[in-house]
Amino acid sequence: MADAATIAKLEEGFKKLQAATDCKSLLKKYLSKDIFDSLKAKKTGLGATLLDVIQSGVENLDSGVGIYAPDAEAYSLFSPLFDPIIEDYHKGFKQTDKHPAKDFGDVNQFVNVDPEGKFVISTRVRCGRSLEGYPFNPCLTEAHYKEMEEKVSSTLSGLEGELKGTYYPLTGMTKEVQQKLIDDHFLFKEGDRFLQAANACRYWPTGRGIYHNDKKTFLVWCNEEDHLRIISMQMGGDLGQVYRRLVTAVNDIEKRVPFSHHDRLGFLTFCPTNLGTTIRASVHIKLPKLAANREKLEEVAARYSLQVRGTRGEHTEAEGGIYDISNKRRMGLTEYQAVKEMQDGILELIKIEKEMA
């Protein structure tokens, strides 16, 4: 059972949400009085409560989603809140649906979406993974962070061929290395206010680090928002090459460290927007004509379930008509389908941009 002080904080937070009439988060939309009352006293085996789940959304009323999972069990224990939010965000992944088994598909079906190099500046495919047997950020101890970093860095040092590289711990990092990683846009900073409020940044920078291969086309973030963010990227539009590199890496890492997986929800991570395949395939793309006709851009994006963001990701503007465009669906479809949908959408956007000339 949650203690009295936690429940009092929860009551206060619930009142604040109810009073916030301009709050548009999914948390506010789905946290009814009934659901709140049925969950407020519950506690996971690792000690996480509803407060851990909702505190970021209570503190940041401008959140889009507003909840995080403090540990894997939270997805089951607090499912009356998680399930409808997951269904809403992952359009059409109903509470009775089951995420399919992992399937990277025929990796040779992916191509260079912009062989002339006129539109796509860079291409990136990433996925998130959690190490089995460890909670997520709010419940991790300092010892956990150190132990996980040790496991991850020794696993990565075994990678070979194109994936061979170096692990750089954030702890004790020299100014030179730090600057080099900043220049490459590889370095992650301590979490934003949404993550801070979710208690995702404790013991910073202990246990955090960055691995990249010598060519700088493969990157792993250790203990940033997720236990592992595995990223494959390069300049230009060769999605095929980027995807194949990611698949090789994920399969290789999984042989060495088991990942947290849920029968219904697929791969589990800290944020409910990032479940199932956890795959986000994106391009930085220049579409000046469509940029001037935002409505048309959004219409095509919606047809292919694409998310259109500003150049620097969520909550940013498009600089110089350059957008960050990615697949929005990650659940209820395979890895192959998620990336294929994004490839089809990007090819269509380029076709329309050319026709608008």
CATH number of the domain to which 44 belongs? 1.10.135.10
Enumerate the known binding-site residues for ATP.
122-126, 185, 229, 280-284, 309-314
Residue 101 in domain: no
Residue 98 in domain: no
Residue 109 in domain: no
The pLDDT score that the predictor gives to residue 310 is 77
Q: Quick one: 138 and 272 in the same domain?
A: yes
What number is the average pLDDT over the span 2-26? 96
Q: Quick one: 197 and 275 in the same domain?
A: yes
239-256 helix and 335-355 helix, angle to the nearest 10 degrees: 160
Looking at residue 313, the DSSP 8-state letter turns out to be: B
Looking at residue 335, the DSSP 8-state letter turns out to be: H
Using CA atoms, how far apart are residues 278 and 130, in angstroms rounded to an integer? Answer: 11
Q: Quick one: 84 and 130 in the same domain?
A: no
Q: Quick one: 41 and 185 in the same domain?
A: no
Enumerate the known binding-site residues.
122-126, 185, 229, 280-284, 309-314
Q: Quick one: 146 and 56 in the same domain?
A: no
Residues 68-82 pLDDT 10s: 999 999 999 999 999
The pLDDT score that the predictor gives to residue 191 is 84
Amino acid at 153: S
Evaluate if residue 120 carries a pLDDT over 70. Answer: yes
| pLDDT class of 316 with cuts at 50, 70, 90 | low
The region of weakest confidence among 155-169, 173-187, 260-274 is 173-187
Tell me whether residue 312 is exposed, middle or buried, using C-beta atoms within 10 angstroms of its C-beta: 0 to 12, 13 to 18, 19 or more. middle
What number is the average pLDDT over the span 151-173? 96
Q: Which residues are catalytic?
A: 126, 225, 229, 271, 273, 280, 309, 314
Q: What is the span of the domain harbouring residue 334?
A: 120-355
Task: Give the side-chain half-sphere CA count within 13 A for 229.
Answer: 22
The pLDDT score that the predictor gives to residue 93 is 92
Q: Is the peptide bond before 205 cis (omega within 30 degrees of 0)?
A: yes
Q: Quick one: 338 and 195 in the same domain?
A: yes
Residue 48 in domain: yes
pTM of the model: 0.91
Using CA atoms, how far apart are residues 64 and 340, in angstroms rounded to an integer? Answer: 26
SS3 67: coil
Evaluate if residue 177 carries a pLDDT over 60. Answer: yes
Using CA atoms, how far apart are residues 332 and 338, in angstroms rounded to an integer? Answer: 9
Structure tokens that stand for 147 in this block: 């132990």
Q: Quick one: 130 and 84 in the same domain?
A: no
**Average per-residue pLDDT for the chain:** 94
Total residue count of the chain as it appears in this document: 357
Token pair 């029968």 is found at: 263
The pLDDT score that the predictor gives to residue 293 is 86
Of 285, 320, 345, 276, which Cα lies nearest the Cα of 127?
A: 276
Using CA atoms, how far apart are residues 346 and 340, in angstroms rounded to an integer? Answer: 10
